[in-house]
Structure 1
Amino acid sequence: MSSNRPTEVPDELVAALLPPLDPPPVLDVDTLLAWFASLDPLRRGLRAPSTWRAYAVDLTHFGEWCTLQGRDPLPAAPETVADYLSAQVESFSIATLQRRLAAIAVAHGLLGVPSPTDTEHVGLVWRGLRRVHGPGRRRRRVDALETRGLVDLLAPLEDTVMDHRDRALLVLGFAGALRRSELSALDVTDVVAEPERLLVTVRANGSRDERVVELPRGHRLETCPVRSWRRWTEVARLTEGPAFRRMTKGGRSLRPERLGDRGVAEVVKRRTLDAGLDPSLFSGHSLRAGFVTAATRAGVPGVSIARQTGHRSAAALAACVREDRPFPGNPAAHVGL
């Protein structure tokens, strides 16, 4: 009996049938999404839109690392990819790095050049990393930045463009319990400012899912989401495009490119260092973990916290809590011990 299902076309065959693309001028999320959107329907239809967006995020991170290392990302040498994996394995899961390998392979296929991911050198390094860092290993948990820690990070900030950007990023990241990828993906039009609140549309990278989080006006000027956001957009004269953008070397002026998720983490680390803290103990996730921990200590119900964070399970939400001191209302205190 014949089937009406179309036969899946392998990437290799598509690459052989269709002409290669010119490389994108830069590797950032917006440029890569436009590059993928220019694909012919056959190649674009091989993957879901959410997968193309995930690849754009992955390639942006790879490109930022290559820039810092003075290496070419497209096309990339096998040694570059192998060193990238080795450098990132302590920060990202094996599953995330596997997706980044796929993104690198697809990008090289679109250029019509051999992928470094297919070489023996990268294969040997990848197998070794999976053996040592694969499922079952205990990952290092970064410290949480609770409200007091956030205040400490904001205290040294002054009136420069970079300071206003970093203040808005840190405050919105904390109050919205946003992942660093979600902060990076924010556009100016995703944030609706009202007198007493911000309504922020959050899109998870690699997913069509979105949620709207409400950030109320704060009691203190330095930690107020509404005033931090308004001041940042006024100083930077932002009306559209990426909400958080890169700065020129030395932070003298604003660039049009989106601040990548790695850039978000670097803001957190730099500001913890300025506040006299050990930056090795913190990362972009520290804001999200800090919000969940502070809200849990305040007795906020888990369902309300999850509505803000977008967590879909109690176990995932609980993993964000840092239990370095007793929580109020601990059930063990109410069972007659």
Structure 2
Amino acid sequence: MTSAATQPIEQAPEEPVEGVVLVADPSREVQDLAVVGPATLDPSSLESWLAGLHPLHRAGRSAATWRAYASDLAHFATWCSRQGVTPLPAEPGTVLGYLHAHGEALSLSTLQRRLAAISVAHRLIDAPSPTTSETVRLAWSGLRRTHGPRRTVRKVDAVLTTTLAQLVAPLGESAMDIRDRALLVMGFAGAFRRSELAGLNLADITVTDDGLRISVRSSKTDQEGQGRIIGLPYGSHRATCPVRSWLTWAAILDQHGISEGPAFRSFTKAGRSLKPRGMTGEAIAEVVKRRAAAVGIDPTSVAGHSLRAGFITSAARAGVPDRTIMRQSGHRSPASLSAYVREGTLFQDNAAAHVGL
């Protein structure tokens, strides 16, 4: 008599046990999840390889992160090819050589992202990651100590409330002016990242009696795609009111018969008609720069991030509590907000103002 422990799988009962889902071919499911390395390591092949991963593998990171990984891996693979070494799987010495070769030329943040891409690629093919070796860890620690203190991150100026009013003041009634006004004012009031603005669809924006209810479906710090809801209330001034700015732009979209898809769209070169595709984050940054230049502000001093930084700084100066700012900006901890708050309150209750200078 065959014991239950040794009973062959073919003798399993035909009727499924309640609460248990039977898989027709479990081995096939495992095979589908197994990852085979890319056939070649050129940029397009790497992007195709990562784009073709099983959804369960890709779900933990955003599409933008996977694209960045593809670019980072391509850079690493190109360097490896010139050195005559294998990039995948790579030896710790290979990664060590890559860090030495690029430690001076690339920023620490770029190198850190490259290491992350290399690590993820090795984990995908179930190979030991060379980035975890002690030699690579020591080299990375040395780079941070050597280059970290003297490398400064380029900071753009914050577009404060007064600057925002200056940017939108010259805007008229053309469709492009109306779009840019809504883009600038909503970008500021929502403390949006440029990628979040670019990712908004018409279905994400609802007009209520109190203002705009906006669903942010994904963002840089929301890799799991849980999303968040924020509100944009009516403003006291028509020129900088996010609700009225949006309603005016929504009317333009309605005139063009657009009722779904991207909320902010590109124009043709002449500015006469709208394109079906949405704006990119880079295009949004260009709007900020172009409108800044039009009012005499150095366009190199601002970027898409200036709107987000300006809102946080302005709110901090107005005495808005950190937790309230974070609810709007999507920051997960007060520590990540502290740099903006320090800048915004630099001259508020400043000790040097009370010593009789």
Question: Is TM (by shorter chain) over 0.5?
Answer: yes
Q: CA–CA distance in 2 between the matches of 1:232 and 1:261?
A: 19
Q: How does 1:6-155 map to 2 (within 5 A)?
A: 9-12=34-37, 15=38, 43-45=53-55, 47-51=57-61, 53-55=63-65, 58=68, 93-94=109-110, 98=114, 137-155=151-169
Q: Do the aligned partners of 2:161 and 2:314 also contact (CA within 8 Å) in 1?
A: yes
Report what 2:242 is aligned to: 225
Residues 213, 334 of structure 1: alpha-carbon distance in 2 compared, 3 angstrom cutoff: farther
Question: Residues of 1 paired with 2:327 and 2:259: CA distance?
Answer: 28
Compared CA separation, residues 324 and 303, structure 1 to 2 (3 A): closer
| Greater displacement, 205-214 / 48-57 | 48-57
* % same residue: 42
Structure 1 pair 273–100 and aligned structure 2 pair: CA distance change class (3 A): farther
- Alpha-carbon distance between aligned partners in 2 of 1:143 and 1:160, rounded to the nearest angstrom: 28
Query: Contact between 2:316 and 2:322, CA under 8 Å: does it hold in 1?
Result: yes
Cα pair 1:289 1:321 within 8 Å, conserved:
no
Q: Is the 8 A contact 1:161 1:254 kept in 2?
A: no
The one-letter code matched in structure 2 to 1:247 is: F
Alignment of 1:253 onto 2:278: no
Determine the structure 2 residue equivalent to 1:72: none
Q: Are 2:336 and 1:311 equivalent residues in the alignment?
A: no
Work out whether 1:204 is the aligned partner of 2:219.
Answer: yes
Q: Structure 1 residues 257 and 98 mapped into 2: Cα distance closer, same or farther (>3 Å)?
A: farther
> What code does the residue aligned with 2:335 have?
A
1:19 aligns to what? none
Structure 1 residue 172 and structure 2 residue 218: aligned?
Answer: no
Aligned equivalent of 1:215: 232
Superposed displacement of residue 96, structure 1: 8.4
- Asked if 1 retains the 8 angstrom alpha-carbon contact of 2:284 and 2:304, the reply is yes
Query: The residue matched to 2:167 in structure 1 has which SS?
Result: helix
Partner of 1:185: 199
Instruction: Output one character per residue of 1:81-112: Cα deviation in whole Å (capped at 9) or x when no partner.
Output: xxxx9xxx78x94168649988xx9xxxxxxx
Query: Is the CA contact (8 Å cut-off) linking 2:211 and 2:234 kept in structure 1?
Result: yes
Q: CA deviation at 1:164?
A: 1.2
Distance change in 2, residues 1:325/1:235 (3 Å) = same
> What displacement does 1:264 show?
1.2
In structure 2, list runs of 5 or more residues that go unmatched: 1-26, 72-77, 80-101, 122-139
Instruction: Output the CA distance in 2 between the equivalents of 1:100 and 1:170.
Output: 34
Aligned length: 263
The residue that corresponds to 2:74 in the other structure is none
Compute the RMSD of aligned alpha carbons: 4.1
Shift in Å, 1:283? 0.7
Q: CA deviation at 1:320?
A: 2.7
C-alpha deviation, 1:329, in angstroms: 4.7
TM-superposition CA deviations, 1:8-38 (whole Å, max 9, x none): 73442xx56xxxxx99xxx9xxxx9xx95xx
Instruction: Give the structure-2-normalised TM-score.
Output: 0.62
Whether 1:275 aligns to 2:295 is: yes
Instruction: Give the whole-Å Cα distance in 1 for the aligned partners of 2:346 and 2:148.
Output: 30
SS in 2 for 1:265: helix
One-letter code aligned to 2:219? A
How far apart, CA to CA, are the structure 2 residues paired with 1:327 and 1:315?
A: 20
Partners in 2 of 1:11 and 1:46 — Cα distance?
A: 15
Q: What secondary structure does 2:213 align onto?
A: strand
Q: Relative contact order: is structure 1 or structure 2 higher (C-alpha 8 Å, sep ≥ 6)?
A: 1
1:183/1:307 CA distance change after superposition, 3 Å: same
Specify every segment of 5 or more residues in structure 1 that has no aligned partner in the other structure, as ranges. 17-21, 63-77, 80-84, 106-126
Residues 253 and 259 of structure 2 are in contact (CA less than 8 Å); yes or no, is this contact kept in structure 1? no
TM-score (norm 1): 0.65
Query: Larger radius of gyration, structure 1 or 2?
Result: 2
- Equivalent-residue separation in structure 2 for 1:325 and 1:289 (angstroms): 13
Once the two structures are TM-superposed, the CA of residue 240 in structure 1 deviates from its matched residue by 1.2
The more displaced of 296-305 and 206-215 is 206-215
Closer, same or farther: CA 177–221 of 1 in aligned 2, 3 Å = same
State how far apart, in whole Å, the 2-side matches of 1:100 and 1:171 are.
Answer: 36
Letter of the structure 2 residue corresponding to residue 173 of structure 1? G
